[in-house]
Amino acid sequence: MKIVIIGAGLGGLECGFLLSKQGHDVCILEKNPQIGGCLQSFRRHGQLFDTGVHYVGGLGEGEILHTLFEPFGLNELPWKQLDRNNFDEIIYQGKKFSFANGYDEFAEKMTSSFPHQKEEIAQYIKLLRKSQEGLQKLFGNGPEMSSSAELLSRSAYQYLQTAFSDESLRNVLSGTSLKMELSRQLPLYIFAQTNGTFIQSAWRLKGGGSQIAEHLAAGIRSHGGEVRTSSPATGFTVSDGRITGVTASNGDVIPCDTVISDIHPNLLMAMLPEGMVRRAYKTRICSLPNSAGMFTAHLLLKPGTVAYRNRNLFVHDRTDLWDGDGSCRSVGVHFAVPEEGCHTRNIDLFTPMVWAEVSQWAESRCGRRSDDYEAFKLRTAEKLIRLVESYLPDLKENIEHIYTSTPLTYRDYTGTHEGSAYGIIKDCEHVMTTFLPPRTPVPNLFLTGQNVNFHGILGVTVTAIQLVSMPPFSLADPTSRI
């Protein structure tokens, strides 16, 4: 089967790897010079910076991501486990709280800070175990969406309000959740899956997230597939309601039996010929709200000055983390694993940023923006530095250079709608419309990526494996041999 995949993000690369390994003729078209989407890395002054993926959860032996990564050989990359006693440190109302790996260890630490909520914490751990067990059974006999229906249709916010009487505890448990958007409609399914996986174990990748993309692309090529960069798909040829070819930017028409789209659904809808799908379907897809974007300050540090912390730091300067106003009031801090020694050369500070904050520069492109935009970015970076400097006293005076990115940057490099960090917002009250199925009304056009199931390394990998297990691909479950 000739398969064209549009977009070389994680989902497209994982689908391409598995399908090419099974002997299918795979061609991936990527619009950027660099593959990987949010896995991309960049160098400044010889130092490597990550753009989106900073750490993963559940990578320990026998845990879910380890199982899912095994068919791709991704477990062999240079992963470094974070401090099991304090992999995430939350600063809330001036107090420090540590997240420990292991459900029992996590419960013990939380109970030491909130002894009056001991039983409630124990029930929370039961919920996390249940959600992880459901994910482990993902490729068994029962479909995941059915087994997780209760968690999908329940609000994470309402669950926390009901389960815990202590407001501080509710917010501390949400304190690492810059990995998702804390909307009142966020399904408990996503909240529990994400937090539960990281509580199992937490890992950083030494040498940058681009290694994941490069490993997958090398595998595709070794299987006889093709990965074209700087080659965006621009249109389709159609016959009898099916796509028979994909046009690349150089004018080549690549014949195909099947197309998998790893780009944002809004972009895909714009590419489809008029009348190929009903206008109502296009309108529904394009009207779905998207999550906020992210502002990141990449800090290059003087050599030998700032000690590497084998944990992440989340600093909050607000009482209610679910109030929707996190920009520059909640910041995540990630430390790059040193190439050698015990001092890091770069730290990333990141905070949510809505499109409205940068929309006045929406018509510009990277490298050709105005001075007032550059000044805005610098002011924002300085706000984040001020927010964290009391907890990292060796930081400010040791910064050599500051590099920044906004939702505009993500829009330009990844093509995501308005620079959305987590794709289409999943709504517990509208599960059937906000969790997109991989099938589309076009019989040989399929979707993968963070807009289908849920976002992040875990969610995208789950979606990719689900997709290639469906007809017309119908690959044997790649995790069944583990």
Question: Consecutive sets of 10 residues in the chain, 482 residues long: mean pLDDT of each?
Answer: 96 98 97 91 88 91 94 96 97 96 97 97 95 66 53 93 97 93 92 94 94 97 97 95 95 96 95 93 94 95 96 96 88 93 94 95 90 96 96 94 95 88 93 91 96 90 93 78 44
Terminal alpha carbon distance of the chain: 27
Cis peptide before 437 (omega within 30 of 0): no
- Residue located via tokens 């549009």: 6
> What whole-number distance in Å separates Cα of residue 448 and Cα of residue 265?
10
> What whole-number distance in Å separates Cα of residue 360 and Cα of residue 375?
14
Same-domain check for residues 405 and 303: yes
Same-domain check for residues 295 and 404: yes
Q: Answer whether residue 69 is part of any domain.
A: no
> What whole-number distance in Å separates Cα of residue 297 and Cα of residue 398?
15
User: How many residues are there in the chain?
Assistant: 482
Query: Three-class SS string for 250-267?
Result: CCCEEECCEEEECCCHHH
Same-domain check for residues 391 and 405: yes
> What whole-number distance in Å separates Cα of residue 291 and Cα of residue 424?
6
pLDDT computed for residue 136 by the predictor: 62
Same-domain check for residues 332 and 216: no
Burial class (CB in 10 A: 0-12, 13-18, 19+), 308: middle
Containing 183, the helix (H) or strand (E) segment is none
C-alpha triplet 359, 331, 382: angle, nearest 5°:
70
What values do phi and psi take at 15, rounded to 5?
Answer: -60, -45
Structure tokens at 451: 């807009």
> What whole-number distance in Å separates Cα of residue 4 and Cα of residue 16?
9
Q: Answer whether residue 199 is part of any domain.
A: yes
Same-domain check for residues 119 and 186: yes
C-alpha triplet 14, 426, 262: angle, nearest 5°:
25
Q: Answer whether residue 481 is part of any domain.
A: no
> Residue 128's domain spans which residues?
79-206+290-419
Same-domain check for residues 44 and 141: no
Q: Which residue, of 389, 419, 449, is where some domain finishes? A: 419
- Residue located via tokens 């520059």: 328
Beta carbons within 10 angstroms of residue 353's beta carbon: 24
pLDDT computed for residue 322 by the predictor: 94
Which residues are CB-contacts of 21 (< 8 A; sequence separation ≥ 6)? Answer: 219, 223
Amino acid at 464: A
Q: Answer whether residue 54 is part of any domain.
A: no
- Residue located via tokens 């990719």: 464
pLDDT computed for residue 305 by the predictor: 96
467 in Cβ contact with 448 (< 8 Å): yes
Domain harbouring 309, CATH code: 3.90.660
> What whole-number distance in Å separates Cα of residue 121 and Cα of residue 318?
23
pLDDT computed for residue 151 by the predictor: 85
Please name every residue paired with 25 in a beta bridge, in sequence order, or none if there are none.
2
Give CB contacts under 8 A, 24+ apart, made by 344-347: 344/301, 344/306, 344/307, 344/308, 344/309, 345/47, 345/300, 345/301, 345/303, 346/47, 346/48, 346/49, 346/298, 346/299, 346/300, 346/301, 347/299, 347/301, 347/306, 347/395
Which residues are CB-contacts of 6 (< 8 A; sequence separation ≥ 6)? Answer: 12, 28, 29, 233, 246, 259, 260, 261, 262, 263, 268
> What whole-number distance in Å separates Cα of residue 249 and Cα of residue 338?
40
Same-domain check for residues 178 and 201: yes
Provide the number of structural domains found in the chain: 2
Q: Answer whether residue 322 is part of any domain.
A: yes
Containing 95, the helix (H) or strand (E) segment is strand 95-99
Q: Answer whether residue 384 is part of any domain.
A: yes
Please name every residue paired with 57 in a beta bridge, in sequence order, or none if there are none.
202
Domain harbouring 277, CATH code: 3.50.50.60
Q: Answer whether residue 85 is part of any domain.
A: yes
Same-domain check for residues 296 and 410: yes
Same-domain check for residues 391 and 259: no
Same-domain check for residues 158 and 196: yes
Interhelix angle 156-163/118-136, rounded to 10 degrees, is: 150
pLDDT computed for residue 477 by the predictor: 66
> What whole-number distance in Å separates Cα of residue 16 and Cα of residue 28?
7
Burial class (CB in 10 A: 0-12, 13-18, 19+), 25: middle
- Characterize the bridge pairing of strands 25-29 and 226-228: parallel
Q: Answer whether residue 317 is part of any domain.
A: yes
pLDDT computed for residue 143 by the predictor: 44
Same-domain check for residues 295 and 157: yes
Same-domain check for residues 320 and 179: yes
pLDDT computed for residue 482 by the predictor: 40
